[in-house]
């Protein structure tokens, strides 16, 4: 593992996003400033931080071209102004299909330069008597894993429903931190959210940082919340149940090394 130079303070920003992009950027800007005041060197925004519309197709209407647009400009300028790494949860980026977009996570360094893009690979589908979701109607799936190097070591990107597919996290390689911007439903979150996040931390013996949508949105949807930071032993460092706010703590390469030395499961893998 690229162990980096030492501990790095990271923050997960929980939001209750609305159908209005401008409102959401204002809320995100306030939370980013709060995270900076609390010492964060890296901040993770949730899935759909910039829009959670009245209808699924609303995100298609505000989709941006890759590399240009007000949402991307916001992320770049805030990273530069605050001098922190920002992982822009997800935002819609255009595809060749006018009816569908990529659900993309963008990473900006403290100079405001974009250094990574990850398009959500696994598209959520869920149906009960009272709920129905099918992301494939408005999204095109990505096709590759993405990591980047930060002061604490390698960071692996994933989004929400990806959390249910452990093979994706193995494919990321040896990471110090895995991030999971999400908008879990209240139903699936109550059943599986914490279990899955702690499992990914324990089996990969690394930190997991999850930034969630957390509350009741104007479109009537309820998201689970519980933004959280988990260490390589599966211990919860910090969490926030519902509502906007900041979850914060340190990613410490020394803790990763200690856990892997005491229980070398990561090096015992055979397949």
**Domains, the chain, with CATH or none:** 8-264 (3.60.110.10)
Annotated active-site residue in 47, 135, 152, 206: 47
pLDDT in tens, 256-266: 999 999 999 98
Res. 101: pLDDT tops 70: yes
Query: Is residue 56 very low, low, confident or very high in pLDDT (cuts 50, 70, 90)?
Result: confident
Read out DSSP for the chain?
----SS-EEEEEEEB---S-HHHHHHHHHHHHHHHHHTT-SEEEPPTTTT---SSTTHHHHT-BBTTBSHHHHHHHHHHHHHTSEEEEEEEEEE-SSTT-EEEEEEEE-TTS-EEEEEE--SPPEEE-SS-EEEGGGTB-------EEEETTEEEEE--GGGGG-HHHHHHT-S-SEEE--B--BHHHHHHHHHHHHHHHHHHHTSEEEE-BBEEE-TTS-EEE--EEEE-TTS-EEEEE-SSSEEEEEEE-HHHHHHHHHHSGGGGG---
* Closest alpha carbon to 89 in 259, 239, 214, 2: 214
Q: What pLDDT shows up at residue 236? A: 98
Q: What mean pLDDT comes out for the span 155-164?
A: 98
The verdict on whether 120 is a catalytic residue reads: yes
The verdict on whether 160 is a catalytic residue reads: yes
Annotated active-site residue in 36, 120, 135, 175: 120
Q: Which two tokens stand for residue 254?
A: 């020394």
Q: Which two tokens stand for residue 154?
A: 């390698």
Annotated active-site residue in 152, 160, 175, 206: 160
pLDDT in tens, 217-261: 999 899 999 999 999 999 999 999 999 999 999 999 999 999 999
Res. 267: pLDDT tops 90: no
The verdict on whether 26 is a catalytic residue reads: no
Q: Which two tokens stand for residue 102?
A: 């990529």
Res. 3: pLDDT tops 80: no
């Amino acid at each position: 593992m690229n162990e980096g130079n030492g501990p790095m303070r990271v923050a997960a920003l929980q939001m209750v996003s609305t159908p209005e992009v401008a409102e959401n950027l204002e809320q995100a800007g306030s939370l980013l400033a709060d995270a900076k005041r609390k010492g964060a060197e890296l901040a993770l925004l949730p899935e759909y931080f910039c829009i959670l519309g009245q209808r699924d197709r609303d995100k298609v209407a505000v989709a941006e071209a890759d590399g240009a647009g007000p949402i991307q400009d916001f992320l770049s300028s805030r990273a530069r102004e605050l001098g922190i790494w920002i992982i822009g949860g997800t935002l819609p980026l255009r595809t060749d299909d006018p009816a569908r977009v990529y659900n993309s996570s963008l990473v900006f360094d403290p100079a405001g330069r974009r250094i990574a893009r990850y398009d959500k690979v696994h598209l959520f589908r869920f149906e009960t008597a009272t709920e129905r979701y099918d992301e494939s109607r408005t999204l095109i799936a990505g096709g590759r894993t993405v990591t980047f190097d930060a002061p604490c070591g390698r960071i692996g990107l994933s989004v929400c429903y990806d959390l249910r597919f452990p093979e994706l996290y193995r494919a990321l390689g040896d990471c110090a931190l895995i991030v999971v911007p999400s908008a879990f439903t209240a139903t699936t979150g109550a059943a599986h959210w914490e279990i899955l996040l702690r499992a990914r931390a324990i089996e990969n013996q690394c930190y997991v940082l999850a930034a969630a949508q957390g509350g009741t949105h104007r479109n009537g949807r309820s998201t689970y919340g519980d933004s959280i930071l988990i260490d390589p032993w599966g211990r919860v460092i910090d969490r926030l149940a519902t509502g906007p706010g900041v979850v914060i703590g340190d990613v410490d390469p020394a803790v990763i090394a200690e856990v892997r030395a005491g229980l070398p499961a990561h090096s015992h893998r055979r397949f």
